[in-house]
A and B are shown apart, each in its own frame.
Chain A
């Protein structure tokens, strides 16, 4: 990752890691008093060439403290044991486990059996008696009895999610969460422990929580599907962090590192957009069942689409703000407002209180004149219905350096696929009308490049 080429930062991170992973505490005593990195005179910077270098986005300001190293406070005030101690303990456990198993190895009978012995050891039971017994036996089944007692047990809609339970798996990586069930006043403040296999999706986690909840707390009334629920980030005391949206249910759980989450029943009125999306997604499927009616609908839909495209072209110069994520060099996502109007593009960070944002660089508010913007293309569709796109702009035109030829730089964004498409369309409509010299130069440049590559890609890839 890009950040690790800053040796100064790297050194300080190693130092911090040293202090925090040392059980004896000696390192802390020795090292914490003096910041070695700071003491090295800047003139002797051959070893730490990064110390002076400032990242263009001020990423590194005050970064000598490196990451915050989290100590899990779940175990009270105890420090974590070192890796060696843990490994020793694991070996000890394996040994104990093995000691509890009796191993019986196949050994052939050293003394061959005589005919008499064989007949004695493997006597033949009298089939007549067996038959008589079998025929007169009253066949009862506890299972039948049990099923008769509760014949119409309603099918638990969450049963299918039981298979994601991490506690019931062996040798599969799992993730553990404390889950606050906000719909139950009694369970609100005490987390339910849930372990899930790490390949599951967030929607599977919601299903598993509901399954466990229905088994462990039958008194809580649950709605009939995972779509009614969202998982919010929560504090360890059960306080829900409402500043963040609920986790995208299509994402894999392995992406999120939170220890505590809260299951929240979603407001059905806010659900509309999602159901709207799924409705539209379902359109191509419904075409399969062709009928005259469906065809008419389809035509109308195509017309509507055309009108929509025209509307976007007409509305293109009007200012519109989008809520997207900017991807910085280390591929960390930062939430920003992307404002697009006839003459400029504004990138303004959404205010975040997370500590981590300090390290991955706060996004500064940036404004690019539309004359300096040269291209905007979709770069990637992701399976989770999100897409990334790239905005290319001319660095020189934007003010800063006036000498030399202009360099093209770019920002990468990620947004909902539909929103991304709309933004790209909007910017391209604006660019089509404006035709700046810089853009021509850029297109010429990329055409030359693509000729070299013998590919037909326009724009950055």
Chain B
């Protein structure tokens, strides 16, 4: 709990995957700083708490929290009681509550204040939940499920709305930009959809279809919008990550590497100049978005890397979806 941590400690890159470990990296040297144990389960999603003290890992029937300040290979808190895989996890920006989505067809809100259950809530849908994302207004949760439905759950009123961008295509990942102006989703057909968001302060946010991208030829796995809202990245089983301009949705870069396999996740740096990707070849890569070069590689996982959490200097609220 000291504030004396040096600059490099404020940049956190955590990776997790199928080898049941979570690794923290020194971004500059590519050296693995710490390996934490995530026993009995793969890591589906990772998220850093707003105060940067804990790392949450969503796995099979658990959400485990690891202390980022102390080198302890074991979790410090274990959230349990979910019957299936937890596929997405994230936090409210003040760290009051945590939201998760799971294959038990539920999105949940967990009250993080000790011994307080006030915020505990469940949102039930009819298909396994693949992804959850919190609107920057902190009171609307977007839930994407395997049957292709996107649910907009207003936490304030319990009102919810549904939309189906494409029938029979599982929604794999969702993202809303920081200004709350647009939302992107990708599905298992490799298609990307973009909506512009219209929000009145009192009314629920309305979605207006804006664009459809043939993002990938195969299964899309993740999408994220850069902090400056200028770029959208989509990752796919076609072994590439693609960066799109949000102005006109033209392809800016295709990030590929000979040994790279499925790309499971990607995260922008705080200034949107770099991108970190996670791939099935067990390597996380740092790409320079100016020229598409690989600047660093983070290799140490024995199996596929499927989840990333990254935290730069800015006090950001990260939402992480599987």
Contacts and interface: CB of A to CB of B under 8 A. Distances in A.
B179 A106 contact: no
A91 to B, nearest CB: 16
Q: How large is the interface on B (under 10, 10 to 19, 20 to 34, 35 or more residues)?
A: 35 or more
A106 B78 CA distance: 11
Given A101-B78, A105-B80, A142-B7, A147 B157 contact: no
Interface in B55-77: 72-77
Contact of A130 (B72, B118, B180): B180
Contact of A170 (B7, B73, B77, B271): B73
A170 B21 contact: yes
Interface in A89-132: 97, 100-110, 113, 115, 117-119, 121-127, 130-131
B27 A107 contact: no
B313 A140 contact: yes
A143 interface: yes
Contacts of A121: 118-119
Contacts of B72: 100
B81 A122 contact: no
Nearest to B112: A104
A162 B201 CA distance: 51
A142 B157 contact: no
Given A108-B120, A141-B269, A162-B32, A124 B156 contact: yes
Interface in B10-24: 10-11, 19-21, 23
Contact of A165 (B19, B227, B300): B300
A159 B158 contact: no
A137 B312 CA distance: 14
- The main secondary structure of chain A at its interface with chain B is mixed
Contacts of A142: 7-8, 10-11, 270, 312-313
Contact of A153 (B28, B178, B313): B28
B108 interface: yes
A139 interface: yes
Contacts of B158: 118
Given A102-B78, A122-B155, A171 B270 contact: no
A109 B312 CA distance: 35
B213 interface: no
Contact of A141 (B31, B39, B270, B297): B270
Interface residues of A, number: 54
A163 B302 contact: yes
A345 B199 CA distance: 93
A270 interface: no
B156 A141 contact: no
Nearest to A109: B120
B228 A104 contact: no
B138 A124 contact: yes
B35 to A, nearest CB: 4
A147 B79 contact: no
Contacts of B274: 141, 143-144, 147
Contacts of A131: 179-181
Given A142-B312, A160-B299, A170-B35, A118 B157 contact: yes
B60 to A, nearest CB: 15
B125 to A, nearest CB: 17
Given A103-B80, A140-B271, A146 B28 contact: yes
Interface string B94-128: 00000000000000101000000111111000000
A424 to B, nearest CB: 39
Nearest to B82: A106
Interface in B147-171: 155-158
A77 B10 CA distance: 45
B51 interface: no
B136 A130 contact: yes
Interface string A166-194: 01111110000000000000000000000
B156 A122 contact: yes
A196 to B, nearest CB: 12
A168 B312 CA distance: 24
Contact of A106 (B21, B79, B138, B157): B79
A122 B118 CA distance: 11
B271 A139 contact: yes
Contacts of A159: 30, 297, 299
B53 to A, nearest CB: 14
B81 A105 contact: yes
Contacts of A101: 74-78
A150 interface: yes
Interface in B122-140: 122, 136-140
Contact of A102 (B77, B269, B296, B301): B77
B190 interface: no
A103 B7 contact: no
Nearest to B35: A168
B196 interface: no
A171 B39 contact: yes
B300 A163 contact: yes
A139 B118 CA distance: 36
A170 B20 contact: yes
Contacts of B178: 130, 134
Contacts of A134: 178-179, 229
B302 A172 contact: yes
Contacts of B312: 141-143
Contacts of B297: 159
Contact of A104 (B27, B79, B269, B314): B79
Contacts of A431: none
Given A109-B120, A163-B302, A170-B73, A127 B37 contact: no
Given A109-B121, A139-B272, A141-B269, A146 B137 contact: no
B139 A150 contact: no
B282 interface: yes
A215 interface: yes
A141 B80 contact: no
10 contacts: A103-B77, A123-B156, A141-B271, A141-B312, A142-B8, A142-B11, A150-B28, A159-B297, A159-B299, A169-B302
Given A103-B77, A124-B137, A146-B11, 4 more contacts: A101-B76, A127-B199, A169-B19, A169-B35
Interface of A: 97, 100-110, 113, 115, 117-119, 121-127, 130-131, 134-135, 137, 139-147, 150, 153, 156, 159-160, 162-163, 165, 167-172, 197, 215
The list of the 6 closest CB pairs from A to B, nearest first, reads A106-B81, A122-B155, A141-B271, A141-B270, A124-B139, A142-B313
